[in-house]
Copies of this chain bind each other. A is one copy, B any other.
Amino acid sequence: MSLNTFGHLFRVTTWGESHGPAIGCTVDGCPPGVPLTEADIQPWLDKRKPGQNKFTTQRKEPDEVRILSGVFEGRTTGTAIQLMIENTDQRSKDYGDIAQAFRPGHADITYHQKYGHRDYRGGGRSSARETAARVAAGGVARAALAALMPGLQITGYMVQMGPRAIDRSRVDLATVEGNPFWCPDPVAAADWAVYLDELRLSHNSVGAVIEVIAQGVPPGLGAPLYGKLDSDLAAAMMSINAVKAVEIGDGMAAATLTGVDNADEIRMGANGPEFLSNHAGGILGGISTGQTVICRFAVKPTSSILTPRQTINQRGQEIDLITKGRHDPCVGIRAVPVGEAMMACVLLDHLLLDRGQTGGVRGVVG
């Protein structure tokens, strides 16, 4: 991964700023012959789209994706796919007062220090708006995965808002789409609605934990030691705006376990090895086991809030800053489809890498 590109064989290069004319990405290395139209990508963008309810930014963006290259007569050609999303609702005036100031907890100051010159409108390149390009790329990845890894199911959901975690005993993935938080625990979802409304009205924001799982991943994906599946997932998720931690399987909790408890014991099932537990999150030695791949990441609270915070401006003057504008009180909500997209891209990339090196042949057990 380097600068604005990620992936080994399925490579995505994103471009664009929050308030420029458009954002988009080039998707390179997609297998040829994959059925693909804008209608295959748009639903994922709609899922991430701002302004859908009071819990996300009120910016209104249709986020309509256009395929500019790499697809002919409804199928991919194997050449570079260009996806473009025009920005239509850029109210630059909202940002005028922070042009020269650095929001605490925001990339304003680091972009300024590194580059000397930055597009301050809406955060420019550091805006979470960039994630729309990732979601579009994920749509391409999903289309290819549908052909190459037919049983695959990728599902993202929020498991914690602020300090309020879901109750795992109540989880029902069928309910994820039924609330504005992609929450799999209906009781928690109801609780979060009240909690987030209070935060929002008190000019505050809050963090979240997202879990993305992939069911139906075959064994053998991932290339030790520096192209490990978990290493690439960690990089992919950590590259999403505001993410501060990535876990695989039991994650941080793995540190608390003993070797006896952590062993995912193996039995022989009708279709090959079966594991009695999944502390590993579907990955051992950087390679998928065939179990569900489990990845979680923490998103920090939005730094753009209406409560004044101490900071400085470009001239070095100390000021108190409030950030007006249309910001997500819990940016983690919209990170759910982004995490799903990154999972899709990483899995496809590793599928291609693996069949490149091994031809997809698998060692036999039994």
Q: Smallest CB–CB gap between A36 and chain B, Å?
A: 11
Known: A15-B70, A104-B266. 5 other contacts (CB 8 A): A4-B28, A32-B358, A110-B288, A113-B287, A113-B365
Q: Is the interface of A mostly helix, strand, loop or mixed?
A: mixed
Stretch binding the partner chain, chosen from A149-157, A173-181, A183-191, A241-249: A241-249
Q: Smallest CB–CB gap between A238 and chain B, Å?
A: 4
* B358 touching A251, Cβ below 8 Å: no
* B263 touching A254, Cβ below 8 Å: no
* Listed A/B pairs (10) with beta-carbon separation below 8 Å: A2-B28, A2-B227, A3-B225, A15-B69, A30-B357, A31-B358, A102-B273, A148-B359, A235-B235, A245-B247
Residue-wise interface mask of A (13-35) relative to B, using a CB-CB cutoff of 8 A (1 in contact, 0 not): 11111001111101011111100
Residue-wise interface mask of A (214-254) relative to B, using a CB-CB cutoff of 8 A (1 in contact, 0 not): 00000111111111101111111111010011111111111
Complex Cα–Cα for A233 and B238 (A): 9
With a cutoff of 8 Å between Cβ atoms, the chain B residues found around residue A316 in the complex are 268, 272, 365-366
Complex Cα–Cα for A241 and B107 (A): 32
Q: Smallest CB–CB gap between A21 and chain B, Å?
A: 5
* B361 touching A105, Cβ below 8 Å: no
* A206 touching B114, Cβ below 8 Å: no
* B109 touching A273, Cβ below 8 Å: yes
Residue-wise interface mask of A (78-112) relative to B, using a CB-CB cutoff of 8 A (1 in contact, 0 not): 11111010000000000000000010111101111
**Cβ-defined partner of A239 (8 Å) among B116, B226, B276:** B226
* B362 touching A113, Cβ below 8 Å: yes
**Cβ-defined partner of A75 (8 Å) among B117, B236, B266, B359:** B117
**Cβ-defined partner of A246 (8 Å) among B81, B118, B234, B317:** B234
Once A80-B3, A234-B235, A246-B234 are accepted as A-B contacts, the answer to whether A262 and B361 lie under 8 Å apart by CB is no
* B26 touching A15, Cβ below 8 Å: yes
Once A110-B285, A245-B246, A358-B31 are accepted as A-B contacts, the answer to whether A257 and B225 lie under 8 Å apart by CB is no
With a cutoff of 8 Å between Cβ atoms, the chain B residues found around residue A286 in the complex are 107, 110, 239
With a cutoff of 8 Å between Cβ atoms, the chain B residues found around residue A309 in the complex are 260, 263, 265
With a cutoff of 8 Å between Cβ atoms, the chain B residues found around residue A171 in the complex are none
